[in-house]
């Protein structure tokens, strides 16, 4: 799924991801999710999966330099991927560490 930062498409993409996760859980299938942890809905969903017997592993990549993330997104766009506004990238960096502190224990 590709995020689109115009209007509600970003929200709909997130909803689709959560529905797909619910479907895979109902089918008792293994799956992987790449995320920025920007959604407040994901952490409760992961706790629910753990309660249902899933093993949840987090592989966390972080850089304190938003310029590296901006360059990575630009490279992704050149290969046909979706864009993420620079302001969103810069904002996420500071919010991400707090999100991890609050949700990953």
Reduce the DSSP state of residue 78 to 3 states and report it. Answer: helix
Residues 23-40: tens digit of each pLDDT: 999 999 999 988 877 777
Query: What pLDDT is attached to residue 35?
Result: 80
DSSP readout, 6-59? STTHHHHHHHHHHHHHHHHHHTT--------S--TTHHHHHHHHHHTT------
Residues 92 and 61: their CA atoms lie apart, in Å, by 13
Output the pLDDT for position 50: 94
Low-confidence ranges of the chain (pLDDT < 50): 1-5
Whether the model pTM is above 0.85: no
Given a contact cutoff of 8 angstroms between Cβ atoms, the answer to whether 3 and 77 are in contact is: no
| Longest distance between any two alpha carbons in the chain, whole Å | 40
* Of residues 83, 74, 73, the one with CA closest to residue 4: 83
């Amino acid at each position: 799924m590709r995020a689109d930062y115009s209007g509600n498409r970003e929200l709909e993409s997130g909803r689709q991801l959560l529905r797909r996760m619910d479907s895979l859980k109902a089918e008792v299938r293994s799956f992987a999710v790449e995320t920025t942890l920007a959604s407040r809905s994901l952490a409760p969903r992961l706790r629910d999966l753990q309660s249902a017997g899933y093993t949840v592993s987090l592989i966390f990549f972080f850089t304190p330099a938003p310029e590296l993330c901006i360059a990575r997104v630009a490279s992704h766009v050149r290969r046909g991927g979706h864009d993420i506004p620079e302001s969103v990238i810069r904002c996420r960096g500071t919010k991400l560490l707090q999100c991890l502190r609050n949700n990953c224990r």
